[in-house]
Chains A and B, each alone.
Chain A
Amino acid sequence: MQSRWDIGEPIKPTLNVDTEKLKSELLVLNMGPQHPATHGVLRIEIWTDSEIVAHAIPHLGYLHRCMEKHSENLDFRGVIPFVDRLDYLASMNMEWTYAMTIEKMLGTEVPRRAELLRILTGELQRIASHLMAFGTYALDLGAFTPFLYAFDYREKILRLFEEVSGARLLYNYIWIGGLWNDWTDDQLSRVATFCDEMEEEAKKYHDLVSMNKIFIERTANVGVMNIQDCLDFGASGPVLRGAGMKWDLRKNEPYSLYSEFDFDVPVGTGEVGQVGDCWNRYIVRMKEVVESIKIIRQVMDKLEPGSIMGKVPKVMKLPEGEVYVRAECPRGELAFHLVTKEGAKEPYRLKVKSPCFTHTSMLPRVAPGQMIADFVATVGSIDIVLGEVDR
């Protein structure tokens, strides 16, 4: 009996044209602005030659909220909630960098306990952000389960942050001069339990995803960004480290109290694939989670009771001048270029150097010659947050 799917020989088209003379051209395909793989509202205009990407042109600005212009009309404290909304997956690090910028100009001394707690929150946030990157990256590549695992543990961090700051995503917790609220001993002991659990969990992720054959096939040797490209484009963070460069601001130009801490800077070694590909960028993030746990444990040992707020004037007026302050955020180096006028209560100019903006500009360089599915893997591997790209 003939199967209902058996439709016989395919019909050959009889065309009255010489196939060699057929006009062929590149097809324009719009990825986004509403596309799950772009992690927000990014539109990438892809010129495809069948399944191969010929050019990729990123179109930004769908989430442009004029943050830099707004901050020129706000007092220095009022900018903090706006800074939160840049990289909304790593708000703590954004606030911290902004607070450091103002503190440098004011010359404020932040109490030791506040500095240590900032490192604690910053590293917890880094873990949360990398978990998000891990989950959504696997989701991009078609694996749904890791996303649920990652969100389970990210939730534990968000619960802690919620208790301590009152918000789950946009905290307004790190203030100029210190912190808004202190951590209780109970919360700190929960952080310690979380660290133990997370360490075991990270091993599970490693077995589940990192060494998974399908995952390796999808990511190894895909979207290679070598060191020369990275330096040319000013890349930083896991993208630069994935390319094999041992550069971390926390280690090379230590800010805050990072010089007291003992941790490694993981780099892409090419144990799978080649250095600078998607897999190496991914594994750098996963190793950083373990390093962050190390740092958090050291913070716990060093913590002593004390004040959490330094001496800051009630009406904040900064002297005239400019600073450029950089810090290592989960996605790369964030920097603020702040220009102030004598006696002004608001910034004269606040420029945000966003790592994701820089990394997005690398897409046209890596895209040509990739398959469309591999391009999705590449976009996912640089872990962009559009709030920060468009500002």
Chain B
Amino acid sequence: MHKELSDLINRNVQGANAVAFIPADSKKFDGSITVEASHIYKVIEFLKNNKETSFNSLHTQSGVDYLDYMEVCYMLTNYDPTAPRNVIIKVKLTDRVNPTVDTIVPLFAAANFQEREIYDMFGIKFNNHPDMRRILCPDDWSGWPLRKDYIAQKDYNGMTVYPDDKMNFEDRDFIVRQDMIKKAQSEKAQ
């Protein structure tokens, strides 16, 4: 299904460069289609409006930070009782300092909040978005929490974040985090 769909995109959207990822075990894992970040609006527009696919709803958008690059995933779905279809469309963003991608709010109103959440968590800016603000964190929070190299700010409006006397650093679960923080700090020092 992913192969046919990526061929269809390549035929109809010039320069989309769609590559299908088909997992070895399709029962266990989901496949996806990666397209050029600059063409995402046209690809989604094509998938929404043509008759063969007609994905009529955006289920959600998700971001993933792979350290080398960041991904924005678009989960499209078709609420069609006779032939339900779902697909994951992805774009890769290699720029960590100022990642940008076009918004798809004019196509799906659902993208409004979802893109704000991705901006809030990953710092990925969406061009032409009507309301590009943080959504879950406070407006004056600094840093992008779900990035893998994120270190929480120490001080927020005169309040201590993660005060030592209230944190259980000995806890097994926090050891992982401590490793990551130390690693990120040493990388920053270099």
Contact = CB atoms under 8 A, between A and B. Distances in A.
Contacts of B62: 337, 349, 351, 353
B156 interface: no
A365 B146 CA distance: 29
Name, among B27, B62, B137, B145, the residue most crowded by chain A CB atoms within 10 Å (CB to CB).
B62
Given A234-B57, A322-B30, A64 B81 contact: no
Interface residues of A, number: 46
Nearest to A234: B110
Contact of A73 (B65, B77, B86, B174): B174
B59 A73 contact: no
A358 B110 contact: yes
Interface in A294-346: 319, 321-324, 326, 333, 335, 337, 339, 346
Interface string B36-52: 00000000000000000
A69 to B, nearest CB: 6
B84 interface: yes
A321 B23 CA distance: 8
Interface of B: 23, 25, 27-30, 32, 56-60, 62-65, 73, 75, 77, 79, 81, 84, 86, 88, 108-110, 112-113, 117, 121, 134-138, 145-146, 173-174, 176-177
A232 B123 CA distance: 25
A5 to B, nearest CB: 50
A64 B28 CA distance: 31
Contacts of B173: 73-74, 78
Contacts of B108: 232-234
Contacts of A346: 176
Interface stretch (A126-134, A190-198, A246-254): A246-254
Q: Enumerate the 3 nearest inter-chain pairs by beta-carbon distance, A residue then B residue, closest first.
A: A234-B110, A321-B29, A353-B60
Contacts of A105: 28-29
A61 interface: yes
B113 A358 contact: yes
30 contacts: A61-B134, A61-B136, A66-B145, A68-B146, A73-B173, A73-B176, A78-B173, A105-B28, A105-B29, A232-B108, A232-B109, A234-B60, A234-B110, A247-B81, A252-B81, A322-B30, A322-B32, A324-B30, A324-B88, A335-B60, A335-B75, A337-B62, A337-B73, A349-B62, A349-B64, A353-B60, A353-B62, A353-B75, A361-B109, A365-B109
B29 A361 contact: no
A149 interface: no
Contacts of A229: 109
A361 B113 contact: yes
Contacts of B27: 107
A323 B137 CA distance: 27
A339 B63 CA distance: 11
A104 interface: yes
A360 interface: yes
Nearest to B27: A107
B135 A60 contact: yes
B2 to A, nearest CB: 13
Contacts of A88: none
B59 A333 contact: yes
Nearest to A391: B136
A383 interface: no
A390 interface: yes
A240 interface: yes
Contact of B110 (A69, A73, A323, A361): A361
Contacts of B113: 357-358, 360-361
From B79, B109, B134, residue with most partner A Cβ within 10 Å:
B79
Nearest to B141: A61
A231 interface: yes
A17 B187 CA distance: 68
A30 B145 CA distance: 28
Contact of A69 (B60, B63, B145): B145
A323 B29 contact: yes
Given A68-B146, A339-B64, A353-B75, 10 more contacts: A60-B135, A66-B145, A232-B109, A233-B109, A234-B110, A323-B28, A324-B75, A349-B62, A349-B65, A361-B113
Interface string A378-391: 00000000000011
A290 interface: no
A245 interface: yes
Nearest to B107: A232
A60 B110 CA distance: 16
